[in-house]
Amino acid sequence: MFKVLAITSGMKQAAARLRMGELILPLRERGIELTMAEWGKNLLERRALIRSASDFDAVILQRRLLDPGNAQSLRKRAKRIYFDVDDAVMYHAGNVGWWSRWRTDRRFAATCRILDHVVAGNEYLADIFRASNCPASVLPTVVDPQHYQCKLHQPTESPRLVWIGSHSTIGYLELIRDALVDAAKVIPGLRLTVIADRTWADAPLPVEFVAWSADGEAAALASADIGIAPTPDDRWTRGKCGFKIIQYMASGLPVIASPVGANSIIVRPGSTGFVAESAADWTARLLELANNPQQRAEFGAAGRRDVWSIYNLSRAADFWMRLLTSS
């Protein structure tokens, strides 16, 4: 059995669960034993974890940037080192002080020096690592389509939008506040479901808040009619890999998204949904889909087919098997 150690920043993080944790069983079926470990909270735990790398055939750093000393120690012990990333971890979301920027820059440079290969969630991230002389491949974020219920679209006078995310990105909904106000004037029954760890305060339309849970997200998504993904455009968000869009598509929902980062690649305009920039664009696309259940059904079906063929967990397992065993 080929043994791989995946080092994560935190086992509860979505990226660790989705891009590594869900691969444990399908990789085992392919002859690869994946062990996940959290980066230690103290020096002794970290040293022990680094020493254990020599017991494995490969190590995957899952979004984890290392200080120069730890990076060098890991390089001495690990046979092969891969880096899996689905966020712009070399940057920061929002404004931070010079110390945080310097520390991240230092860790990014030190980590790049020890890597054998990078697996990035989109081309934007891959190109950043390539510019630092790291070989990089692109593996989109994937889901298990069988986890999601498929929406059965019907005519409705109260179409339901849905947004799934967390408190760190719920502010992105403010980008389309004016569009939601205008759309609700035309369709008074328009509603929004927010699946997250907190609701959207002061929303301009009725909101149903659903506290996120792994067991409840599929049913909450399938109760909606249209998935939305407004996103600002900056160097942090360009590293986003469109996970919520893939979830919408897996649920058979048409999607409206900002053309930022991987969004423009995942959404096929006129086939699985639309991309929208201005408030007028958002309003027009919201009204078009809200008033057309047949179009919603066709876009949703096409999106679900894309998930089965492109954004499928088994595809990611095949990718990692080839990469890990080809060295």
Q: What is the DSSP string of 18-75?
A: IIIGGGHHHHHHTTEEEEEEEPPSSHHHHHHHHHHGGGSSEEEEES----HHHHHHHH
pLDDT at 99: 87
pLDDT at 307: 98
Q: In DSSP terms, which residues pair with 117 in a beta bridge?
A: 82
246 pLDDT higher than 70: yes
pLDDT at 82: 98
pLDDT at 81: 98
> Of 275, 254, 231, 295, which is closest to residue 88 (Cα–Cα)?
231
12 pLDDT higher than 70: no
- Collapse the DSSP code of 201 into the 3-class scheme (helix H, G, I; strand E, B; otherwise coil) and give the result: coil
Residue 221 near residue 248, CB atoms below 8 Å: yes
- 263 exposed, middle or buried (CB, 10 Å; 0-12, 13-18, 19+)? buried
DSSP state of 205: S
Report strand pairing: 226-229 vs 255-257. Answer: parallel
> Of 184, 149, 160, 171, which is closest to residue 283 (Cα–Cα)?
184
pLDDT at 11: 63
Q: What is the pLDDT of residues 60-95, one digit of tens each?
A: 999 999 999 999 999 999 999 999 999 999 997 777
Q: What is the pLDDT of residues 209-231, one digit of tens each?
A: 999 998 999 999 999 999 999 99
pLDDT at 294: 98
Q: What is the pLDDT of residues 266-312, one digit of tens each?
A: 999 999 999 999 999 999 999 999 999 999 999 999 999 999 999 99
Contact partners, residue 243, CB within 8 Å, separation at least 6: 14, 18, 86, 141
194 pLDDT band (50/70/90 cuts)? very high
